[in-house]
Amino acid sequence: MKYFEFGKKNKELMVLLHGGGTSYLGVLPTAKKIAEKYHVVLLAYDGFNPSEPETVFQSLAYEAGCLEDYIIKNYGGKVDILYGLSYGCRTLMQVLEDNRLEITTTIADGMPLRDYPDIKSDFLKEVYLFFFTGTFFVIMGRAGKLRKKFLAKITGRSPEEADRILYTKASWKSWKNQDRCLIGKKTDYSVFRNTDMHIWYGIKGTVDKKLSANLEELKAKGYPFTCKIFEDMGHGGLIGENTERFIEEVDAVHRHDRA
């Protein structure tokens, strides 16, 4: 695992968690721009880091645990803004379980609201991973021109952006491990109480429409969070292609939380 830091001179710390099947390069331009105002730590997951191609993604708990220890060691456990995109929201939720940390503002962008199935049999787990993870591995992990165009369409992003964010050198083992660790894991939404929680969706494409399908059910359970829908943005479109607006939206929720 590797951490890229920018804007160390700035007082407030913002931690960025990119999505699954992609690399940190997808949010790197925005991270550098944000660093004009915030001290930014951009996480690069094992197995999905172009600068460490020999690494393998082990599990969500391991990746989150390393980040938690890093924050405690280097920043006394305090984070002003924690941002996660897509699969990064699952990492974010794991991090929020650590009571050693003090996180003021948390933003889950394109957060999946459906848990993985609870499969007990190791054989059936392998079958599930072969079909479910295998589909994404083919579309994203080994994407050609046509697949990138398809991905751009369903996410509501441009083909150029899809080409930039995809990481096609991750191993099948890393892809499987991303999903294997989530089989049977139930999301603990009570951790929303450990921070000021904000959920965002960009529904220009079909991806976030599906990810947010259980949103009303979650609201009905009374967990403390705000939600904002961006109809003119695709999945991750704010942080990926609309840097200035992303910064404005982050500033708005963080100013409110500090107040």
Per-residue model confidence (pLDDT) at position 146: 67
Nearest to 82 by CA among 182, 74, 94: 94
Q: Which residues of the chain have pLDDT under 50?
A: none
Per-residue model confidence (pLDDT) at position 151: 73
Per-residue model confidence (pLDDT) at position 156: 75
> What is the tally of helices (H) and strands (E) in the chain?
12, 7
Per-residue model confidence (pLDDT) at position 208: 87
Look up residue 85 and give its two tokens: 């995109």
The answer to whether 56 and 170 are in contact (CB under 8 A) is no
What is 2-115+187-258's CATH superfamily?
Alpha/Beta hydrolase fold, catalytic domain (3.40.50.1820)
pLDDT in tens, 64-119: 999 999 999 999 999 999 999 999 999 999 999 999 999 999 999 999 999 999 99
Total-model pTM: 0.93
Per-residue model confidence (pLDDT) at position 87: 95
Q: Write down the domain spans for the chain.
A: 2-115+187-258
At 236 the three-state DSSP class reads coil
